[in-house]
Amino acid sequence: MFFLQPMFPILILFILFFLNVPIALSLIGASLYYFAFINTGIPMSMVVQQFITTVESFPYLAVPFFIMLGSVMNYSGISDKLMDMAEVLAGHLKGGLAQVNCLLSALMGGITGSANADAAMESKILIPAMRRKGFPIGFASAVTAASSAVSPVIPPGNNLIIYAMIANVAVGDMFLAGYTPGILMTISLMITVYIISSRRNYAPTRDRMASIVEIGKQILKSSFALVIPFVIILGMRMGVTTPTEAGAVAVLFALVVGITAYRKLSWKHIPLILKETVQSTGSVMLIIASAKVFGFYMTSERIPQMVTQMLLYMTEDKFVLLMVINILLLIVGMFIEGGAALVILGPLLVPVVLARGVDPLHFGVVIIVNIMIGGLTPPFGSMMFTVCSIVNCTLQDFIKEVWPFIVALLIVLLLVTYSESIALAIPKFFGYVPIHAPM
């Protein structure tokens, strides 16, 4: 029993998860148990220092800026312009609003960067409209939750920034790597919606495909919203801005657009924007700092090294290893929120895949897509609960409708897992050279 004591914090962590204790508090509680009762040789002041120094990292300043960007764009009317753009492009397809739902999440990916934020927004805006068009509550909820999985994959999703810090890769490269899987996920979901809508005869919202003139006019109306992701990416790729500075510039740009161009942003919105930014940033950074302390415990017990050796012992084939890791992540994603899973498992798994010659940017694509799929699946998928709680959809109705979308996303996961050329197509186009040599 003495030899199992170092594993008690992991057991405590999962017990707290199942008791629905908030993720950050679960991580802190499990860590404090270890340092208070098992490894008493480490001063508690050093543990507190680990907690505090984590959030002092300059690159993490990008997180609150991108969170604020999403809030600003919601109040400035830019989100409405993206909605109009999605409707013009996809409203004529079978499924109508369901297709718009999928495309809007892709367009919003560069804004919210959060699956739950996207799911909450579209639950309030699109699901009532879909219900009025005759879509069942289960189908509307499933489409909304599934499409929200795209948002954190498309830049500037917070998970992309967090993984870049974990794997020590350039944030700009990680942003570029997010576009291909994000686009593939959107296409796969839209194909799934089309197939289901054809069978059930769900009508489009437009009687015909938009003309080139109509699309051009809408592009002009939505141009300020559409240009923001390009401003962010180009600024970093050209070396003009760091990720943090890019976030600040994007916030300033959105404020100016909301005040001068769309004229929907006013002084009364500023307190609301600041409140939402502080709340969301506090939640994200508390999880990151708590995971750092939990990581300090794991490092003290050499758990990362043991996991690395165990996985490397299982197979020498990197493709088999990736399959094992994918299965592990899918299971973990059913119980733990995606961001928390990333900060807990990322430091454990990155050394493993590097040792087998897997490019860190490629693995970043795999792990982020994977944990987003986990957010859809029972019993504790975070997007599932977000959507169902907002629109009062039963879990039975949701689960019955969501499985085709999970299958579609799993196909994309397999594609980006086993085809590096597809997963890294855009970074390679901009000059990225994959790392294949084992460490």
- How far is Cα 187 from Cα 115, in angstroms, rounded to an integer? 17
How many domains does the chain divide into? 1
Q: Is 363 helix (H, G, I), strand (E, B) or coil?
A: helix
What pLDDT does residue 2 have? 45
* Residue length of the chain: 439
Which positions of the chain have pLDDT values less than 50?
1-3, 439
Asked if 206 and 92 count as a contact pair (C-beta separation under 8 A), the reply is yes
Task: Record the pTM.
Answer: 0.77
Residue 283 lies in a domain: yes
Is 272 part of any domain? yes
Distant-in-sequence, close-in-space partners of 58: CB < 8 Å, separation ≥ 6? 244
Q: Is residue 273 part of a domain?
A: yes
The pLDDT of residue 414 is 94
Q: Which two tokens stand for residue 121?
A: 């927004």
Supply the pLDDT for residue 188: 94
Rounded distance between C-alpha atoms, residue 407 and residue 410, angstroms: 5
User: What b/e string do you get for 219-256 counting C-beta neighbours within 10 Å, with b at 16 or more?
Assistant: eebbebbbebbeebbebbbeeebbbbebbbbbbebbbe
Type of residue found at 438 = P
Residue 435 counted as domain residue: no
Q: Quick one: pLDDT at residue 412?
A: 95
Radius of gyration (Cα) for the chain, nearest Å?
Answer: 22
In a domain, 438, yes or no: no
For residue 305, what pLDDT is reported?
67
pLDDT digit string, tens, across residues 235-290? 766 667 776 787 788 888 888 888 888 888 888 888 988 888 888 777 777 777 78
Structure tokens at 95: 């499924």
- Nearest Cα neighbor of 278 from 111, 25, 75, 67 is 67
d(CA 168, CA 171): 9
Contact 289, 54 (CB under 8 A): yes
Q: Residue 262: inside a domain, yes or no?
A: yes
Q: Is 437 inside a domain boundary?
A: no
| Token representation of residue 2 | 């003495």
Judging by beta carbons within 10 Å of its beta carbon (0-12, 13-18, 19+), is residue 145 exposed, middle or buried? buried
Instruction: Report if residue 242 sits inside a domain.
Output: yes
Domain with 110, as residue range(s), is 9-430
What's the Cα-to-Cα distance from 131 to each of 98, 125, 139, 159, 416, rounded to whole Å? 11, 11, 10, 32, 34
CB 365 within 8 A of CB 178: yes
Residue 439's pLDDT is what? 45
Q: Provide, for the chain, the percentages of residues in helix, strand and coil under a 3-state DSSP scheme, each rounded to the nearest 5.
A: 75, 0, 25
pLDDT value for 239: 67
